[in-house]
A and B are shown apart, each in its own frame.
Chain A
């Protein structure tokens, strides 16, 4: 019996003598791997556990028409669809952010590009709602019109949890956009004169191709390089950063694109003059089929020099005209 037992144990001892130093190693490795996989699984599947820094979901609301959005309701949508770029903490440090240009919006500073409100003020709930539904042209922000109105309203409320500004301030008063006058050659010609006088071309270039003398050195408010909008790029359906309608263009330059070099012109353009500028800007979208380009092609593509009927202040000096501009 004894010898038999000894014999049966011997192979075991043999194996043990070879592997005994390795066994603790294997055990530790196993435990570490298991822990690692568990943590990863937690991070992917569970929404409220794992190595996540806590996000305090304040009871923020949004009001879009008859829809009321609640921040708490958007928590999982935000984590699933937005956090990848905008970050769980809304600080634009999502895992994809390093690859993106322009960078995702940083909700912790509450500066927004597309507003109907004056420069320096918070946008309306509707502005943010529209931005989510529309996406941002020339950026990685997609069109989220697959969301229901309620989902979008909830997300608008959710992004307000990231900056204390939303608790201290109200949205700015939306600017008034008067009814659009008819598109005429006179309107386009005046718009062209304004484009030169207001020096839009310094950044956007004389033909609106985004190649003006100051274009190369532009940076956004976080010192990242940024390009001015190229009006001529894109086909018939090309859109502006903050929308595709003439009203949207009106709002873009009258409110400015906060956080970027694009200033507000609300102090310096009269409401009707602003419509003339809109009409001219449309003609810079050379491949777009629209009323403005129809008027222009009816005149064989020639915009006559604008004759100002009102007494104007002294003209800009000759060397302050866009290069190649005869007017």
Chain B
């Protein structure tokens, strides 16, 4: 009897290892094929007159006032390019991702910099558990204070970052579009961190974005803008040429 059990255990072990091995190999091949296929590209526009962006008075922080003396900084709530393109819009896949693509965390470590009393970039989109760096390029202190929704996977924290301190590493544990970030010392400093699963992008000054590394399939793509909220549309991604998904927000 005992010998039988031993044999059975060895067999079970071997089968299990084989299973894990097989799963692992298919997983990695899936990832490779996922990276090789399609993507989504598009332009996000604002229809109407964009709201006036107020110039920011940075006189309380002389360094920053001096840094922006030639071109005063304005709020960045609605930034529209010369052709009507809307900047700082987060675009991500809200439905249709397969488990492998959704769980993939990009190795890139983007930087969230504090420079001239502004967040560079003003909006960042990150993958869940993607590492990013918080840096301070200014010759004075900032406190970095993200305010996620209470009781979710992400929690509020607040850290001081004096000048000359090295960047520190952070991750967000759960999806959230988007986490507001503020500096209490400089109350005009506002930014957003969008945390999503799967490939994502933020529009540039022309309102353009490109999402890469998407396997062929049907997806819901969602755009989020800090003043105008979210919009979604269905997109079919095939191999080769990227699919197009344009959005238009109405100016309020």
Residues of A that sit less than 8 Å from B by CB = 108-111, 119-121, 163-165, 197-199, 202-203, 213-214, 217-219, 221, 256, 258-268, 313-314, 316-317, 319-320
Task: Write out the residue numbers on chain B whose beta carbons fall within 8 Å of the beta carbon of A108.
Answer: 150-151
- Whether, in the assembled complex, B23 has its beta carbon less than 8 Å from a beta carbon of chain A, the answer is no
Contact between B139 and A317 (Cβ–Cβ < 8 Å)?
yes
A-B contact pairs, 25 of them (CB 8 A): A109-B150, A120-B156, A120-B157, A121-B155, A164-B151, A198-B141, A198-B162, A199-B162, A202-B185, A214-B184, A214-B187, A219-B187, A256-B160, A258-B156, A258-B158, A263-B144, A263-B160, A264-B160, A266-B159, A267-B159, A267-B160, A267-B165, A268-B162, A268-B165, A319-B62
Contact between B151 and A258 (Cβ–Cβ < 8 Å)?
no
Task: Write out the residue numbers on chain B whose beta carbons fall within 8 Å of the beta carbon of A267.
Answer: 159-161, 165, 168
Contact between B60 and A264 (Cβ–Cβ < 8 Å)?
no
How far is the CB of B65 from the nearest CB of chain A, in Å? 10
- Whether, in the assembled complex, B97 has its beta carbon less than 8 Å from a beta carbon of chain A, the answer is no
Task: Write out the residue numbers on chain B whose beta carbons fall within 8 Å of the beta carbon of A165.
Answer: 151, 155
- Whether, in the assembled complex, B140 has its beta carbon less than 8 Å from a beta carbon of chain A, the answer is yes
Q: Which residue of B lies closest to A197 (CB)?
A: B162
Task: Write out the residue numbers on chain A whose beta carbons fall within 8 Å of the beta carbon of B187.
Answer: 214, 217-219
Dominant SS among interface residues on chain B: loop
Task: Write out the residue numbers on chain A whose beta carbons fall within 8 Å of the beta carbon of B141.
Answer: 198-199, 202
Dominant SS among interface residues on chain A: loop
How far is the CB of A123 from the nearest CB of chain B, in Å? 12
Known: A203-B185, A268-B165. Contact between A198 and B160, CB under 8 A? yes
Contact between A261 and B184 (Cβ–Cβ < 8 Å)?
yes
Bound Cα distance from A320 to B164, whole angstroms:
14
Chain B residues 138-155 with CB under 8 Å of chain A are: 139-141, 143-145, 147, 150-151, 155
Bound Cα distance from A119 to B62, whole angstroms:
29
Q: Which residue of B lies closest to A119 (CB)?
A: B157
- Whether, in the assembled complex, B63 has its beta carbon less than 8 Å from a beta carbon of chain A, the answer is yes
Contact between A320 and B155 (Cβ–Cβ < 8 Å)?
no
Contact of A256 among B60, B150, B159, B162 (CB under 8 A): B159
